[in-house]
Chains A and B, each alone.
Chain A
Amino acid sequence: MAPRALDTLPPRIADAAVPGPDQLRDLYRMLTNVRQLDTSAVAWQRQGLIPGYAPMLGQEAAQVGAGFGVDKARDFAFPTYREMGVAYTLGVNMVEYMSTHKAIWHGGLYDPVATHFAPFQAVVGGSVLHAVGWAHGQTLNGQTLNSSSTAGLGVALAFLGDGASSQGDVHEAMNFAAILTAPVVFFVQNNGWAISVPTEQQVAGGSVAARGAGYGMPAVRVDGNDVLAVLDATRRAAAHARAGLGPVVVEAMTYRRGPHSTSDDPGRYRTLDDEKIDGGEDPLSRFRAALLERGMADAAFFAEADAQAQARADEIRDGVVDLTSRPGSEMFDFVFQESTPTLGAQARQWREESEHV
Chain B
Amino acid sequence: MSETLELVRETPLLQLSMQQAINRALGEILEHDDRALIFGEDVGVLGGVFRVTDGLQQRFGANRVFDTPLAESGILGTAIGLAMAGFHPIPEVQFDGFAYPAVNQIITQLARMNYRSRGRLPMPVTLRVPSFGGIRAPEHHGESLESLFAHVPGLKVVSPSNPQQAYHLLKHAASMPDPVIFMEPKARYWNKAAVDLADDQDSISLEGSVIARPGKHATLVAWGAMVSRCLQVAELAAEDGIELEVLDLRWLKPIDEAGLAASVSRTRRAIVVHEGPHTAGLGAEVAALVSQSCFDTLRAPVERVTGFDVPYPSGDLEDEYIPNIDRILFGVQRVLEYRRG
Contacts and interface: CB of A to CB of B under 8 A. Distances in A.
A127 B154 CA distance: 18
A137 B177 contact: no
Given A112-B120, A113-B120, A179-B69, A136 B81 contact: yes
B118 A338 contact: no
B241 interface: no
Interface string B62-105: 01000011010110111111111111010000000000000011
Contact of A337 (B74, B178, B258): B178
A128 B105 CA distance: 11
A119 to B, nearest CB: 5
Interface residues on A, range: 35 or more
Contacts of A135: 81
A319 B100 CA distance: 43
Given A126-B105, A175-B74, 20 more contacts: A109-B118, A119-B113, A123-B109, A126-B104, A126-B109, A129-B74, A129-B80, A133-B82, A133-B85, A134-B84, A140-B87, A156-B81, A169-B105, A172-B77, A179-B68, A334-B117, A334-B118, A337-B178, A338-B176, A341-B258
B138 to A, nearest CB: 23
Contacts of A330: 118
A8 interface: no
B31 interface: no
B25 interface: no
A130 interface: yes
Contacts of A131: 81
B177 A337 contact: yes
A343 B118 CA distance: 16
Given A169-B73, A172-B71, A338-B176, A130 B119 contact: no
Interface string A106-143: 11010111000011100100111111111111101101
A175 B177 contact: no
5 contacts: A129-B81, A144-B63, A168-B73, A169-B74, A172-B73
B311 interface: no
A129 B73 contact: yes
A133 B113 CA distance: 14
A337 B122 contact: yes
Contacts of A140: 37, 63, 87
A138 B85 contact: yes
A111 B118 CA distance: 8
Contact of A173 (B77, B85, B116, B120): B77
B12 interface: no
B81 A132 contact: yes
What are the 3 tightest A-B residue pairs by CB atom distance, in nearest-first order?
A133-B81, A129-B77, A137-B85
